[in-house]
Structures are given as structure tokens and as C-alpha cells.
Amino acid sequence: DTTPMIMTIVLFYASIVLAPWWLTTMVAVVLLARWNLAIPVIVGGMLMDLVYGAPLPLLGGYALLYTITLALLSLVSLYLHATMLE
């Protein structure tokens, strides 16, 4: 049944706008751990950067902190799924 997955994706996108960043990150981890959904998580990071992103001198003036963080989290998840399910 795909209903829990769809509800979690809706919760993830709603939490981007309505919840603190740490709750959004926790929902992203659930999406990655339970269903291995990297694309919605990366798109959510891009949306977070569009809404909340500010250029950081530490990153050379780039405002892609959430996108980079969630993309790295997705890569780690894909690697762990691949190695643990061998």
C-alpha cells in the first residue's frame, strides 16, 4: 500500500514551510530509510534553499546549504541500502 509513503511525502513538503529544519530533516531521514526516496528529498532541499537560502561566506557565497546536505544524506542512504542489501 502506497498510502503511508504518500502521506509521508506530503508531511515532508508541509514541514518545509511549517516546521523547524530539524523536524524536516527527521522526516527526510524516514523517507530515505523506509522507502529510499532520494529524489523527493533532494527536491525538498532545493525548495528549502529557494525559501530560506542565504549566501554563506563559508560556502563561497553559495546559498545551497540544504540542497547539499540533503543530497549528501541521500547518497549515504543509497550507499547503505546497496551495501546492506547485498
For residue 34, what is its C-alpha cell? 523506509
Higher pLDDT, 73 or 86: 73
Q: What is the pLDDT of residues 27-58, one digit of tens each?
A: 999 999 999 999 999 999 999 999 998 888 88
pTM: 0.89
3-state secondary structure of 62: strand
